[in-house]
Chain A
Amino acid sequence: DAGVIQSPRHEVTEMGQEVTLRCKPISGHNSLFWYRQTMMRGLELLIYFNNNVPIDDSGMPEDRFSAKMPNASFSTLKIQPSEPRDSAVYFCASSFSGDGNQPQHFGDGTRLSIL
């Protein structure tokens, strides 16, 4: 079975550019999470969706960040305009929220470098 699929795996761009990260959750999962991982701050939850609806976006650092989930099989995290401090690994994870014992399954992450 396919796991959580993220693209791109690596992204290098100049500051000020728009960056779009993509995620395809596992089929049948109804919760989706976006995380950011840095050495300084560890693993931070940015936003999560349940049944395509954003439930908690309190972790989104500022208005430059936005996330959408137009359907059950796709989500995007957008940064516009990007800044060097946004450089990090961004993970998408999905789970089935109907059973709390079900763990989150993570994608391989996108390593983002803003020059």
Chain B
Amino acid sequence: AQTVTQSQPEMSVQEAETVTLSCTYDTSESDYYLFWYKQPPSRQMILVIRQEAYKQQNATENRFSVNFQKAAKSFSLKISDSQLGDAAMYFCAYRVTSGTYKYIFGTGTRLKVLA
């Protein structure tokens, strides 16, 4: 069975600095999708970034980028130039390409941004 692990329950970063949130997963599939979601105190779940496993190039969305290491089954999120608005829970999620349509979510990392 697929699993997603976020080993950092909480992280802190100084405003304008860079922080990396870790995520590892376990799967026997060769093709799948990975996502990072952000949940601010307003409790909305907002998609931050996505990565297709067959693409070697790391996805980037403005200040957000991933370090995707397929062999190591690692999918970390890097936030550059951290802003106060980045403070939130961050969830890593995995989805297979076919068959079941469900996502597997990690337990989340709470990010605090210090002014």
Contacts and interface: CB of A to CB of B under 8 A. Distances in A.
Given A100-B33, A108-B44, A45 B102 contact: yes
B101 A103 contact: no
A91 B101 contact: no
B19 interface: no
Contact of B108 (A42, A104, A109, A111): A42
A33 B52 contact: no
Interface stretch (B20-28, B66-74, B77-85, B92-100): B92-100
B47 A100 contact: no
Nearest to B43: A109
A18 interface: no
Contact of B44 (A33, A56, A101, A106): A106
Interface string A34-70: 0000000011010010100001100000000000000
A103 B37 CA distance: 10
Interface of A: 31, 33, 42-43, 45, 48, 50, 55-56, 89, 91, 93, 95, 97, 100-101, 103-106, 108-109, 111
17 contacts: A33-B103, A42-B105, A43-B91, A43-B108, A45-B103, A55-B100, A55-B102, A100-B33, A100-B95, A101-B50, A103-B47, A104-B103, A105-B47, A106-B37, A108-B42, A108-B44, A109-B43
Interface of B: 32-33, 35, 37, 42-47, 50, 52, 91, 93, 95-98, 100-103, 105, 107-108
